[in-house]
Structure 1
């Protein structure tokens, strides 16, 4: 008899749980098939679509925490909805709201960290973007997340051209987008406007429930624990492959830009040299020019332009005056003088500039196209050179120091 009662009780609990889950799935009949997160807060309800097809590991982390099935959770936390009862501990108007810390201090986590996962089609380019908070670098994601109030593309792990930042550099923002609000954007706005003291709400903004909604066969088949276990270890390799693919794309684009450079300067006197490295030169050789020794320090006159023709640097006084960039104080400090440089591979120049210099003799002049990857690369050189900028230089070796 007791066995029958226990079985009936188990069936009743299972039925209630199943009915509750079905009710949750049917709560938003207007939403198309997909995986969603319902944030029930004391300020209202928000619903976010989760991009499990593009960033499956990041979504699996979030879903696994929300449902208590995450494989890295401590035994004491398994089977419990991790986010229920947690606050939005950091709120910044015209920026974002941040939650996911069980301590409410910004220092807490679920007890583990995992590697970043990015998709260049997902950007912080609008309000309502759901993204991972981290403490810097590629391997500091955990349970904390944020939702944007306004576009903040500077938080992306990549630049506008799709090339990746060096996310392990200090003070470099690289956050992984994994969803966006499809309902309740006004709730996000309400939360972002609550009274705060040093970004912490005076009156707690609480996630009362965070429910995962599965609509359609694909979403229902999404096994968060399995996805995280199988795919999370592969994330460093995935990022390397993404970066390599983008570098190949940049090189292909640079080839096109190099051809355009030749066409633009087709009337310029000199030999056109297209190096296998991607450097393009129009070299005007001096008559009886002397080749420097590898121990010589040559004197270089140089002017640098962006592809659009805008000047960013010159050692030539006349060029500076002609472009209205002349600075008298800089002139007195010696800025408009040829600079010395050792004539060998140890020269402290960007690779494209160095390669061009070593093809030149005393008195030679050249206009060169330096593709970004032979220049300042994905990091650029603040404040003048933006990331992944192709550059054009006019060079002349005027003598030996």
Structure 2
């Protein structure tokens, strides 16, 4: 009988034993790297937070506020401001006197307004003589009796003789009657306002009193318009109107007393004539 050859299964090699020291070393190294990563991440976050605390916040413009503390929008349309500025510049103002000494030197010619001497039953005409010709004015005691009375008084006293047109603005008016030629002078007294709607600043050739901010501060300074000036209505006392010589008024040299280097053109004198109320 033949013998059957038996084969033995190959033996599986036993697993390698775990090297505990190496494993521990690897875990320690891995833990070290993880710890370093966490530490670096934490420091980066802290730096970003610190930077955020120290950087200034973006600036934002606060809203404008009025005196009541209410928010208002910034002004973007300056047309009203321009109109207001223009109206201020184009007013026949009498410059306020700087101090009491200047007031005494420049205006103390008469201690008080004159008594009423004009006759309301008569008509009055003023003729201003200038180097360019005469300006004939019809005075209006019917609408401004106190103003006409003062103007007639000063004219007859020779107060206006040799005074200048110290402020002349193109397309607006010619102003004179200041003994100082600066816009700061007067007769030493004031004439109360006599505003009216019976005659308005709707044409050139109207004669009115200049004044300071006080409506009752007119003195000797007057102006003659060279164009319609409706913004002066109910603001300045009209006491006359040009009958002849408006071309003379229009030709008076322009002058701004704030920048002028030479005196204004003079008035040679003012003559007053009177007649009956029917004339």
> What TM-score, normalized by structure 2, do the two folds share?
0.53
User: What's 1:214 paired with?
Assistant: 274
Show the counterpart of 1:64. Answer: 153
What is the number of equivalent residue pairs in this alignment?
158
Selected match of 1:36 from 109, 117, 125: 125
1:186 aligns with 2:247: yes
Determine which of 107, 125, 135 is the counterpart of 2:202: 125
- Cα contact 2:169–2:254 (8 A) shared by 1: no
The answer as to 2:210 corresponding to 1:101 is: no
Whether the 8 Å contact between 2:135 and 2:242 is mirrored in structure 1 is yes
| Residue in 2 that maps onto 1:138 | 215
Q: Matched residue of 1:205: which SS? A: coil
Aligned counterparts of 1:103 and 1:41: Cα–Cα separation in 2? 18
1:8-52 residue CA offsets vs partner (Å, 9 max, x unmatched) = xxxxxxxxxxxxxxxxxxxxxxxxx83111000122210110001
Task: Say which of 131, 135, 139 aligns to 1:46.
Answer: 135
The superposition leaves residues 198-250 of structure 1 with CA deviations (integer Å, 9 ceiling, x where unpaired) of: 5758453111010111122678xxxxxxxxxxxxxxxxxxxxxxxxxxxxxxx
Q: 1:156 to 1:139 in 2, by over 3 A?
A: same
Change (3 A) 1:154 1:196: closer
Higher strand content, 1 or 2? 1
Residue 54 of structure 1: how far off its partner (Å) = 1.8
> The residue matched to 1:187 in structure 2 has which SS?
helix
**Aligned Cα RMSD in Å?**
2.1
Question: Considering only CA atoms, is the larger Rg found in Structure 1 or Structure 2?
Answer: 2
Supply the distance in 2 between the matched residues of 1:196 and 1:138 (Cα, whole angstroms).
23
Q: Is the 8 A contact 1:91 1:199 kept in 2?
A: no
Name the CA distance, whole Å, in 2 between partners of 1:201 and 1:95.
21
Is 1:175 matched with 2:241? Answer: no
TM-score, normalisation: structure 1: 0.37
Between the aligned partners of 2:231 and 2:137, the Cα distance in structure 1 is 22
Q: Give the CA deviation at 1:86.
A: 0.5
> Counterpart of 2:59?
none
Q: Following the alignment from structure 1 to structure 2, what is the Cα–Cα distance between the partners of residues 138 and 197?
A: 22
- State the 1:119 CA deviation: 2.0
Q: Aligned with 2:271: secondary structure? A: strand
Tell me how far apart the structure 2 counterparts of residues 113 and 125 of structure 1 sit (CA, whole Å): 26
Higher relative contact order (CA 8 A, sep 6+): 2
Select which of 163, 182, 200 maps to 1:86. Answer: 163
Distance 1:101 1:218 in 2: 33
